[in-house]
Amino acid sequence: MPRRVLLIDDDRMQCMLTKAHFAKFRQEKYEVDWAETYEKGLRKLLSGEYTVCLLDYQLGERDGLALIREAIAAGCHVPIIFLTAETGENIDILAMEAGALDYLIKGEITTQSLERSLRYALKLGDTMEALRQLATHDALTGLLNRREFDRILIEEHERAKRFGRSYAIVTLDLDHFKKVNDTYGHPAGDLVLKTVAKRIGQQLRSVDRFARVGGEEFAIVLTEVDFVTVSEVAKRIVEMVARMPVLLENGTKLPVTVSAGSASMPKNAADPAALIRISDKALYEAKQRGRNRAVAAVELTPAE
């Protein structure tokens, strides 16, 4: 299936010329889609349907540099090749600083140079995505790591304040995990972590953010939920983990349980740091009450 390319250019003739180059490619084939305005181009770019974008510098009263910045700010990682008729004013440097991966001058584009630029941008884009995964995800479970979780939590807090919405977190900890490693070995412990992480992830919505924040510690950010809902989610996860033993490679069906604490904003805290602290207190209380249970922040006494 051909890879999809988005061409954002307000010049219909240039669009036809560019598509003609694609028709002459000798190696990989691409499906080219055209957007003739800034707004339409940005909307399509953020749709997640394209593997690479060709972006014109001049787009009516707005320019491609602003579009790149807006797309990246919205979380877009599609490789972008910048197109322009300008040869001065350091446009190439400005394009790269904005986030473009390559730069082509319209009057000098050939079929060969365009095909080479596409291959280069796609390869570099793959490399950068791999580096982003390493920087933001846990290598064992594939979940978000602690640094990315903290970033997302702050981001969600700002969004919730701006739009007057609620959000919540659940913190989880595998019970007696050290005993698993000591008895069955670290490979078994890794299998338990991966299996439990996968099962919990299947219980969550696509908009929820799930992270491994420590050795056997996990955390979830749930958007637009109240303290009642987050408490129910935490209890459902605890019950699910307890009723599904992990099958080890030696055939042992290992019972596994987790303890959980939950807290919501603005019901239980005024900022992300306080929210984590209160959720951790609820988790500690769940451990104190015998593990394999979920405790909500509203169940804590003021002294706790």
CATH number at residue 94: 3.40.50.2300
Q: How many residues does the chain have?
A: 304
pTM for the predicted model, two decimal places: 0.74
Same domain, residue pair 9 and 112: yes
Same domain, residue pair 273 and 244: yes
Q: Is residue 141 part of a domain?
A: no
Same domain, residue pair 129 and 152: no
Q: Is residue 42 part of a domain?
A: yes
Same domain, residue pair 201 and 258: yes
Average pLDDT, the chain: 92
Contacts of 165 (CB under 8 A, 6+ apart): 159, 223, 224
Same domain, residue pair 109 and 213: no
Domain that holds residue 250: 146-299
Give the percent of the chain with pLDDT over 70.
Answer: 98
The whole-number pLDDT of residue 26 equals 82
Same domain, residue pair 293 and 160: yes
Average pLDDT over residues 155-184: 94
Q: Tally Cβ neighbours within 10 Å of residue 201.
A: 15
CATH number at residue 217: 3.30.70.270
Residue 303 pLDDT exceeds 60? no
Q: Is residue 304 part of a domain?
A: no
Q: How far apart are CA 95 and CA 54, in angstroms?
A: 12
Residue 163: name the closest of 224, 205, 241, 242 by CA.
Answer: 224
Same domain, residue pair 56 and 116: yes
Which residue, 136, 164, 192, sits at the end of a domain? 136
Angle at CA of residue 232, ends 210 and 157, nearest 5°: 45
Count structural domains, the chain. 2
Same domain, residue pair 85 and 195: no
Same domain, residue pair 84 and 151: no
Catalytic residue among 216, 224, 239, 285: 216
Q: Is residue 271 part of a domain?
A: yes
Q: Is residue 23 part of a domain?
A: yes
The whole-number pLDDT of residue 93 equals 86
Which residue, 96, 114, 136, sits at the end of a domain? 136
Same domain, residue pair 157 and 292: yes
Q: Is residue 32 part of a domain?
A: yes
Same domain, residue pair 292 and 189: yes
Contact 249, 188 (CB under 8 A): yes
pLDDT, tens digit (0-9, with 9 covering 90-100), for 100-131:
999 899 888 999 999 999 999 999 989 988 88
Active site residue 89: no
pLDDT, tens digit (0-9, with 9 covering 90-100), for 207-217:
999 999 999 99
pLDDT, tens digit (0-9, with 9 covering 90-100), for 280-297:
999 999 999 999 999 999
Q: Is residue 239 part of a domain?
A: yes
Q: Is residue 210 part of a domain?
A: yes
Which residue, 117, 136, 155, sits at the end of a domain? 136
Same domain, residue pair 84 and 163: no
Residue 151: name the closest of 209, 109, 79 by CA.
Answer: 209
Average pLDDT over residues 72-96: 85
The whole-number pLDDT of residue 88 equals 63
Residue 89 pLDDT exceeds 80? no
